[in-house]
Structure 1
Amino acid sequence: MTVSLKLISHKLCPYVQRAVIALKEKGVPFERIDIDLADKPDWFLKLSPLGKVPVLVVTTGEGEVALFESNVICEYLEETQAGAKLHPVDALKRAEHRAWMEFGSAILGDLWGLETTSDPATFEGKRQALVAKFRRVEAALGAGPYFAGRAFSLVDAVFAPVFRYFDLFDELTEHGIFQDAPKVRAWRTTLAQRPSVRSAVDADYPQLLRAFLVRHDAHLLKLAA
């Protein structure tokens, strides 16, 4: 059965990046369509019950199915597409990986607060929360270079977009979030060099992220000043 894939995305969305990385790791051809989440097209709202990206439109001979939620999309790709396996074979290890994917989503929740707040106290609270969470990640990491050793997995696909934020944040302030997490720092460096990770965003990503901070009057920019 012939299947074609179309990914509805937004240029800054870290959840979209998860799906893009998984698609590229699998070597699956797909079409990417970026939309403006501040002005969502009607056709997109009909596809996405939650009004969020990513949405993967799967077209078969029987019609179209729209899959929403990034982890659902990644799991579908893992189950249906050839190429490198991105989940462990062992059921317990696979469940453990899924749990750490959820932990990555919790980190993104704190990152959202860190980057959008203009309040110094809120910023510091989110910074401390991230320090604590990455301390947990540090304890879970082994010898590397990836989350589970030598094999790239969906956990890596989840955390690579998290680390990408800090390419700009590092320029703005000495936030100290990874100060006591050497394994996390090494993991971040390795992921940044992975072709699927590098190509998951366009070249204008840093400029778009900076503009996003400006729109939110982010405390991060005040620290840079």
Structure 2
Amino acid sequence: MATTQKSFAKGSSAPGPVPKGQIRLFSMRFCPFAQRTRLVLHAKGIKHETVNINLKDKPDWFLEKNPLGLVPTLETVNGQVIYESPITCEYLDEVYAEKKLLPSDPFEKAQQKMLLEHFSKVTPYFYKIPMGKKNGEDVSGLEAELKEKLSKLNEVLVNKKTKFFGGDSVTMIDYMMWPWFERMEMMELKHCLEGRAELKKWVELMLQDPTVKANMFSTDTYKAFYKTYMDGKPDYDYGL
């Protein structure tokens, strides 16, 4: 896998054609949404090239490919462009049929999508709470809401009686939710898992997954990047 690592900013020249037999991922090293796609690419063993983008100063050539300027964005050898993290992940699972991450059963697949829809209401708290703290606001109400939502996820595992959200092995839904749990310690939200035993166990199991291990940063690295982000001067190349 070729990775440029350093992020491309405005004024940079566009990368050449997508290498034959590969797919290109436009990413940002610390973006949880892009991490979803990186996890899927890795778990499925898909040959790919990663091009990191400076999200504060985006290159014009990137905006031509995806006018929304969002990562993750995929580009195929034929120049087809796919974006939005759940869509990129489902696309990869369909096109690269070996080692399917989504269940083939329509109801089970629908269950994963419903759970993802529920989880999309959880992710805003990972921004609202740290922002509120930074501004000196009382975030206890927000933390109570987050805990309630995490309790619901805990219940899903209790009712399913499985180790992971889609069964006894890691599937798509686990990778779609993981990036935010990986950042919990950095955001000082780990205490919100207390009393949610099944969910805590799930976190421990996910930390042992080879794909998760290969795509994670240390809490210290996240903290250092996040500080630059909160100060309004994100250092996308932090640690390189």
* TM-score normalised per structure 2: 0.79
In the alignment, structure 1 residue 129 sits paired with structure 2 residue 142: no
1:216 counterpart (230, 233, 236): 230
Indicate the residue corresponding to 1:139 in structure 2: 155
Does the residue aligned with 1:107 lie in a helix, a strand or coil? Answer: coil
Indicate the residue corresponding to 1:207 in structure 2: 221
Indicate the residue corresponding to 2:182 in structure 1: 164
Does the residue aligned with 2:120 lie in a helix, a strand or coil? Answer: helix
Structure 1 CA distance for aligned equivalents of residues 127 and 66 of structure 2 = 22
In structure 1, list runs of 5 or more residues that go unmatched: 218-225
List per-residue Cα deviations over 1:6-35 (Å, max 9, x = no partner). 100111111111101111111111111111
Shift of 1:215: 4.7
Does the residue aligned with 2:121 lie in a helix, a strand or coil? Answer: helix
Distance 1:122 1:198, change over 3 A: farther
Shift of 1:208: 4.1
Structure 1 CA distance for aligned equivalents of residues 36 and 151 of structure 2 = 22
Shift of 1:39: 1.2
Shift of 1:120: 4.2
Structure 1 CA distance for aligned equivalents of residues 39 and 229 of structure 2 = 28
Give matches, 1:1-225, under 5 Å: 3-59=21-77, 63-117=78-132, 118-121=134-137, 123-141=139-157, 142-169=160-187, 172=188, 176-201=191-216, 203=217, 206-213=220-227, 215-216=229-230
List per-residue Cα deviations over 1:46-102 (Å, max 9, x = no partner). 11232111001111xxx3011110100111111110322211221111111011122
Shift of 1:110: 1.4
Percentage of pairs with the same residue: 26
Distance 1:48 1:139, change over 3 A: same
Does the residue aligned with 1:168 lie in a helix, a strand or coil? Answer: coil
Does the 8 Å contact 2:183/2:222 carry over to 1?
no
Shift of 1:207: 2.1
Does the residue aligned with 1:115 lie in a helix, a strand or coil? Answer: helix
Amino acid of the structure 1 residue aligned with 2:119: G
Give the aligned CA root-mean-square deviation in angstroms: 2.1
Shift of 1:192: 1.4
Moved >6 Å (runs of 4+): none
* TM-score normalised per structure 1: 0.84
Shift of 1:204: 6.5
Structure 2 CA distance for aligned equivalents of residues 114 and 28 of structure 1 = 36
Distance 1:206 1:36, change over 3 A: farther
Does the residue aligned with 2:221 lie in a helix, a strand or coil? Answer: helix
In structure 2, list runs of 5 or more residues that go unmatched: 1-19, 232-240
List per-residue Cα deviations over 1:164-216 (Å, max 9, x = no partner). 112324xx57x631112100100011111211112224x46742443423652
Indicate the residue corresponding to 1:221 in structure 2: none
